[in-house]
Amino acid sequence: MADALVGVLAACAVLLAGAGLAKLLRPLPAVDALDRADIPGLTVLARVPLMRLVGLAEIAVAVAVLGPGGRWPAVLLAGCYAALAVVAWQLAVRTPGADCGCFGAAASPLTGWHVVVNLVGVAVGVLAAVLDPPSWWSAVTTGPVLDALLLTAAVLLLAWLLMTLMTALPALLRRLSEPDRMVANG
């Protein structure tokens, strides 16, 4: 179980790092989304410089999980995903289908998949805090090269699939649920 947890934990960290990088480079969509969420106490973060700091913090947590690892980085990862789940839930309730701003793009409609993926991140972080598996870095530097390459490829694929669940899948499902529009365009 610990071996599989290393990969899933690393994928959650990579996804968090991607979201953090997007907030760092293109913070405006996340600022707008957080402003729309109107969560007391968090609306102060709905400013470009502070959102960039949030992005840096997400990247730092991801690097801590991937590099040295351990219980505390796993707890921080769970905390980041818990905060993201709260924001996603609040946005889904207040402005269903509005852009999430998660990955720096304004065209990622927020759906229940955001909440689900964020809750998976919470669960993975909590489980890692309890079981304390080795970090991704430790796993790839102590084993055979082929194992390291396969683990890294699996981590990147899973991170991409999780991002796709939040971005491309909702857009695809929305388009598929509009049969009249597809027939008219076809």
pLDDT of the chain, 186 residues: tens digit per residue? 667 899 999 999 999 999 999 999 999 988 888 888 888 777 777 788 999 999 999 999 999 999 999 999 999 999 999 999 998 898 888 888 778 888 876 567 788 888 999 999 999 999 999 999 999 999 999 989 999 999 999 999 999 999 988 888 877 777 787 765 555 555
Burial class from Cβ neighbours inside 10 Å (0-12, 13-18, 19+) for residue 149 reads: exposed
> Is this model's pTM higher than 0.75 or not?
yes
